Amino acid sequence: MPRAVVITGPSGVGKGTLIRSLRTRMPELQLSVSATTRRPRTGETQGVDYHFMTPEEFEQHVAAGDFVEHADYAGARYGTLRSELATRSAGGAPVVLEIEVQGARQVRATMPEAVQVFIAPPSLDALRARLVGRGTDAIEQVEARLRTAEQELAAQDEFARVVVNDRLEDAVEELVEIVRDTTATG
Ligand code: ADP
Ligand code: 5GP
């Protein structure tokens, strides 16, 4: 079983930003590239940001049992491919999964040894400001993500480790400590 670190929490809370900093501090960490049916945003690259696929391709992978976990989120499908985890963990380094809460629950059931960290915003207003400020999503997408965020925030007690991403540097420091302690790297 690969050593895995699941980073979850609402869209716009700063998961991607935190993981970029984490990987600068711990370059050995591998990042699992997810599959999605969502359209690529400007600047996103096939196979780097996501394995972008059609709904038909995604469904074929579901039917074949190729996913460790998968979920519907804000009108698209997202999932972690078993083959992706196997490739990324081949060198023995921990693999980071950046996934939403339904997926994190599935991983908790099937890979209970995986470390799970919930990233929380300082407030819902701050979350909205970040989603709007990121400028990547239409307002309907922002609203859909905020509606889901309220349910996701209600689920944070399920997670043994919660990091509030208020001041970025503090949150990065906390995350580095958790990952070092729980994966015995570095
Ligand atoms: P996620 O991956 O969780 O969807 P992002 O990493 O894309 O979130 O961050 C969403 C936006 O919030 C980005 O514009 C990012 O620069 C900003 N951001 C991230 N962390 C902080 C923070 N601690 N304080 C203020 N803005 C932040
Ligand atoms: P975005 O469209 O902003 O890239 O991602 C939307 C949400 O889907 C984010 O919360 C992100 O963490 C989550 N996500 C990305 N990849 C996966 C995945 O493989 N599985 C699951 N369950 N969620 C994912």
Distance separating alpha carbons of residues 17 and 14, to the nearest angstrom: 5
> Which pLDDT score, from 0 to 100, does residue 185 have?
57
* 172 C-beta closer than 6 A to ligand 1: no
How far does residue 65's CA lie from ligand 1's centre (Å)? 33
Contact 101, 154 (CB under 8 A): no
Provide the whole-model pTM. 0.96
How far does residue 78's CA lie from ligand 2's centre (Å)? 6
47: left (phi over 0), alpha (psi -120 to 50) or beta: left
Query: Could you give the 3-state DSSP secondary structure of residue 129?
Result: helix
What tens-digit pLDDT sequence spans the chain (186 residues)?
A: 448 999 999 999 999 999 999 999 999 999 999 999 999 999 999 999 999 999 999 999 999 999 999 999 999 999 999 999 999 999 999 999 999 999 999 999 999 999 999 999 999 999 999 999 999 999 999 999 999 999 999 999 999 999 999 999 999 999 999 999 888 754
Q: Ligand 2: which of 36, 82, 145 to mutate, judged by most atoms within 8 Å of the beta carbon?
A: 36
Beta bridge partners of 97: 6
